[in-house]
Homo-oligomer: A and B are copies of this chain.
Amino acid sequence: MFSKACEYASKIMIYLASKRDEDKLAGLKDIAKAINSPEAYTAKILQQLVRRELLLSVRGPNGGFGIHKNKEVSLMEVVMAIDGEGIVKKCILGLEVCSENRPCPVHDKFVAVRDHLRGILSTTLITEVGDGIEESIFFLK
């Protein structure tokens, strides 16, 4: 469904959202441990998220990563940043063009699934799903 990179990115965002009330940032090692991901690869994904301005970073001692407070981020934005719009746009059978006018044989059926998916991705905020991590109601690894 999502790429590995996108899975990591989502978990990163949710993890950092769950720590949004702490006054200090989370470092790479901390993050990689929390989501059980390879450190160096995680660093690459963090970079992308920073470039896309979904995260903030600061270097040096006591540096690290954190979410922008006062900025609501949906899961959709995270997925778009890493995997692009394919998951909610591309034809399930891979047709270059697939539309009402020129549909693949399963077009209508999968438009419904994609709309369902899109709805959930865009209404799910990372702060919302971040709650419950610290309390071990939900898990990231």
Contacts and interface: CB of A to CB of B under 8 A. Distances in A.
Contact of A105 (B4, B95, B102, B133): B133
Contact of A120 (B109, B129, B130, B139): B109
B106 A124 contact: yes
B124 A109 contact: yes
Interface stretch (A39-47, A49-57, A58-66, A86-94): A86-94
Interface string A71-115: 000010000000000010010111100100011111101101100
B139 A103 contact: yes
Interface residues of A, number: 38
A7 B117 CA distance: 19
A38 interface: no
A138 B2 contact: no
Nearest to A18: B105
Interface of A: 1-2, 4, 7-8, 10-11, 14, 75, 87, 90, 92-95, 98, 102-107, 109-110, 112-113, 116-117, 120, 124, 129-130, 132-133, 138-141
